[in-house]
Structure 1
């Protein structure tokens, strides 16, 4: 078994994503979801496609947690809510890509996978107006403004079908509003754009106002006056109507200048999409001025020659406006979550999320006062032993750069060991994670003694250079297996977290999840030596998964040490210590610390 077997494990990679984005991640259960604070993915096994979806889902939801304002109300109308979601998805992904460029490939791989397996297909004229508008909008927006090449053919077909069903004039105006997507800077701006797009749909779905009747010209008072200018013929077509239509199409469509800027480079803007639409978009816009048969549309063209009849268009738009959530396409990453849920392979929690806990500082200071004396003695002893082992030493050898005056006489008897060689012992370079079992069986004083021992060890190791330590309790404060309680993280001073060292026993013994959490924490550390010490007074809830993880962690170079309180944990841990009285726990931990730092 190699280190890669643990490094590539789903919980380890998921934890790395969480650290990278600053978002807690939990692996386990049967549902992919987020509550706006913690992202959850089920245990999906080793299927490559499922992992592609999982990494993209994590990145996308992390972008939401970081950049979406969840306090703003969502739209009441399903269509507006759908459009708002598409726009906001593109905006927050662009924000994430600007900070973490590598996530572009991760997110794009999700869309490519959905296209490859048919989950994301091109729109068809036979579909309902709500599907055509929803899927067409998604394909056009993601291809043009997220530059997702997997949707290129989908976007082209969406443009054609939408022009055929909703008329080119409406599509031009819609795409004119869509061209604002790359410049959106907030969730509020996404909401406003979605509202204006729905307003456009509502406007186009209404009957046009009746045209004012043409009044006959009254007789000219200057009739017969050869100096007066001739009256213009009101029935003569001067092209004004065509000019107005052309001007409106030009106003609603993205400009050619913007498109030229887009051709200059796809990565020109901070969110990965430039303000122009690109050469392909200009070609598509030009085609919008042609009829369905490819001929140039003109004022005299009939509805059947160039576009559907006005009543049909208004009816289609009204159907889209009245669509329910069930009528509209599913949100892209909601479908990803469904796919992940369907691939769940292990309902057990694998990687718990860490819950914050400050505790009672006053009680914590009292606990700290109890352990300061013994902790100070251990700190002094450890520091002295470390200094003794790391101080410079010298020996003699056959080769070197300087002679040893005390040993020059050896040359007279043919002994070549007259060179002085200086040696520097290596200082500790260790990251340690202490797991404290706070199951219900640890009540009646055991919990307090165990936490006092943890506090004493953390305090004693604090001044030791080359040593980093963290302390975590399991299960959660409510006794749940899906979370652990963070007591101390690497680099924190023990005095600043004293309140967290005062807790009570609760729940069962979900040791597997706690071990995954500690292993993920240590694998992210740069120290060469990594150690997990687990304090427990009973068997894990799942002995098989705990034993498997301990073996894998050991193969990955993590030293696994178990301290059993009135229980033998030698069958689980390769290095095991048993104490029969909880009062001896502090002494046992101190002895382990000395052995770790001096060997």
Structure 2
């Protein structure tokens, strides 16, 4: 992994940010790029891939389909599907740029790369007539309607070939019909416009046939032959099969991304999963707050006092200033003019803290004090998060992980939430396995969105993660990004093999005390 890579530029994090911004679901796959109409799958592209802008362009294009394309609208095989796809690509990209102006640059960049990589190809005389026609439509729409000027040379060559091969009537009428594309508002309107283009070709074919017939009637065999050839060519366009059509240039881009992922992809990267809010139970919340109230108050007072003490303003004497230090005036007699006070402000904590709590099925085991580990963990995380939010510039969050691969991450308190208002969500019951890597990717993503200068990720677990390599990958990225990562092992030493900074406690009952001491050292050290 390159030392330049950080959590902020890691593929899963950036893909998740794009998905969140564009309002679509994004998943990280193994070595296949595809969209099922609901979720966009981005293959595991390696860190050193030099064309990441093309990846984000692919994502933006597919996101436009997910948001704006009605996949239920029928398209007929052959020319109708090809024309509909070309027209729809234009419509959805224009809609995307209107909704998210920033995607204009991204989509233009992927067009530039696709041209450079040969995914876009110039139209030539050697192609089937249907390929010439759809190629002209593609470059006309992408250049004139979408605004991708990088494709202008492709439009120029396509126009030259198209006007040379097709009858004047088709050229004039197709240009007029393509201008209608900018006004289409739905997939249904797009397929209707494709129907209009096909109908126009049929009409022009009939005209050429009529001209041929008229030429024969007037014994003008030369004109009749030319018109007959034009009619046959237009019939070939109407009968075009897959081998006569250009296909989607984006398929070539996807194939390239798939090859790169297959050859060099990082299999430890994971999709940043969406967290489901745990169920709110006000009665449970009230009981939990009551259980930890005295402890929380004590921890809050102690932490706040320690932070305040570490922030007390120190003073240094200097030769210039506005405030005189009366205690140092005697120095003047000795020629020492350092009698002015210069306050040195201490740093504020300014810290986002994300606490991940293992809620796998093993957390139902009892500790030495007779309480189940899950009860101790939820009370400890509630107490410390309530104490932390009372300290200025400290932004806590709590997430549970467990369940199954379909839903492994559960949000209890998000950054910026009032903890006590979310107390009823701490009653989540332990279940399932230990999807620690999924939880860490989620927490890392949430931390990247916080404004605090300092970021901490604390993982509380009582067992082995389901994927240690994936855990090490995200831990490494976090540490390279100055995110402090600490593992707390509850009656397990497994954390020592994962986390450079780790604490092992022999009794789950010591968890609350351990969290307090950890935050005490961390916050006061930073503020000092």
How far off its partner does 1:564 sit? 0.7
Distance 1:442 1:332, change over 3 A: farther
How far off its partner does 1:157 sit? 3.1
Partner of 1:85: 85
Task: Structure 1 unaligned segments of length 5 or more: list them.
Answer: 215-298
How far off its partner does 1:359 sit? 3.2
Taking structure 1 as the reference length, the TM-score comes to: 0.73
Contact residue 447 and residue 505 of structure 1 kept, 8 A: yes
Contact residue 456 and residue 483 of structure 2 kept, 8 A: yes
Distance 1:455 1:317, change over 3 A: same
Are residue 526 (structure 1) and residue 526 (structure 2) matched? no
Contact residue 438 and residue 447 of structure 1 kept, 8 A: yes
Partner of 1:354: 273
Partner of 1:316: 236
Contact residue 276 and residue 409 of structure 2 kept, 8 A: no
Distance 1:571 1:70, change over 3 A: same
Larger CA deviation: 546-555 vs 528-537: 546-555
Give, in whole Å, the separation in 1 of the partners of 2:21 and 2:342.
45
Partner of 1:144: 144
Give, in whole Å, the separation in 2 of the partners of 1:76 and 1:327.
15
Partner of 1:342: 259
Contact residue 274 and residue 442 of structure 2 kept, 8 A: no
The structure with the largest helix share of the pair is 2
Partner of 2:386: 459
Specify which of 333, 353, 373 is matched with residue 446 of structure 1: 373
Are residue 585 (structure 1) and residue 522 (structure 2) matched? no
Are residue 5 (structure 1) and residue 5 (structure 2) matched? yes
Partner of 1:511: 436
What does residue range 149-548 of structure 1 map to in structure 2 within 5 Å?
149-187=149-187, 189-204=189-204, 302=223, 309-320=229-240, 323=241, 328-344=245-261, 345-346=264-265, 348=267, 350-362=269-281, 365-366=285-286, 368-369=288-289, 370-394=291-315, 396=317, 399-409=320-330, 411=332, 418-444=339-365, 445-474=372-401, 477-480=403-406, 484-498=409-423, 500-548=425-473
Contact residue 166 and residue 308 of structure 1 kept, 8 A: no
Specify which of 502, 506, 524 is matched with residue 576 of structure 1: 502
Give, in whole Å, the separation in 1 of the partners of 2:82 and 2:364.
51
How far off its partner does 1:319 sit? 0.7
Contact residue 474 and residue 510 of structure 1 kept, 8 A: yes
Distance 1:188 1:125, change over 3 A: same
SS for the counterpart of 1:179 is helix
Give, in whole Å, the separation in 2 of the partners of 1:551 and 1:353.
16
Partner of 1:53: 54
Contact residue 53 and residue 109 of structure 2 kept, 8 A: yes
Give, in whole Å, the separation in 1 of the partners of 2:424 and 2:253.
41
Distance 1:36 1:349, change over 3 A: farther
Give, in whole Å, the separation in 1 of the partners of 2:2 and 2:238.
61
How far off its partner does 1:45 sit? 0.8
SS for the counterpart of 2:277 is coil
Partner of 1:296: none
Contact residue 50 and residue 343 of structure 1 kept, 8 A: no
Give, in whole Å, the separation in 2 of the partners of 1:519 and 1:565.
22
How far off its partner does 1:85 sit? 2.8
Q: Deviations over 1:136-186 (max 9, x none)?
A: 322222122223244333323333443444422113211211112334445
Partner of 1:103: 103
SS for the counterpart of 1:180 is helix
Give, in whole Å, the separation in 2 of the partners of 1:199 and 1:371.
75
Give, in whole Å, the separation in 2 of the partners of 1:563 and 1:468.
20
Give, in whole Å, the separation in 2 of the partners of 1:76 and 1:373.
70
Partner of 1:121: 121
Give, in whole Å, the separation in 2 of the partners of 1:449 and 1:393.
40
Larger CA deviation: 408-417 vs 110-119: 408-417
SS for the counterpart of 2:276 is coil
How far off its partner does 1:208 sit? 8.2
How far off its partner does 1:559 sit? 1.0
Taking structure 2 as the reference length, the TM-score comes to: 0.82
Task: Structure 2 unaligned segments of length 5 or more: list them.
Answer: 215-219, 366-371
Partner of 2:368: none
Contact residue 279 and residue 425 of structure 2 kept, 8 A: yes
Contact residue 202 and residue 234 of structure 2 kept, 8 A: no
Contact residue 433 and residue 532 of structure 1 kept, 8 A: yes
Larger Rg over CA atoms: 1
SS for the counterpart of 2:347 is coil
Give, in whole Å, the separation in 2 of the partners of 1:383 and 1:161.
76
SS for the counterpart of 1:40 is strand
Larger CA deviation: 36-45 vs 179-188: 179-188
Contact residue 564 and residue 576 of structure 1 kept, 8 A: yes
Contact residue 16 and residue 524 of structure 1 kept, 8 A: no
Distance 1:76 1:309, change over 3 A: closer
Distance 1:201 1:590, change over 3 A: farther
Distance 1:367 1:406, change over 3 A: same
Q: Deviations over 1:189-219 (max 9, x none)?
A: 43443343344345445578979xx9xxxxx
Contact residue 42 and residue 347 of structure 1 kept, 8 A: no
Q: Deviations over 1:503-538 (max 9, x none)?
A: 344554343443333334334433221111111222
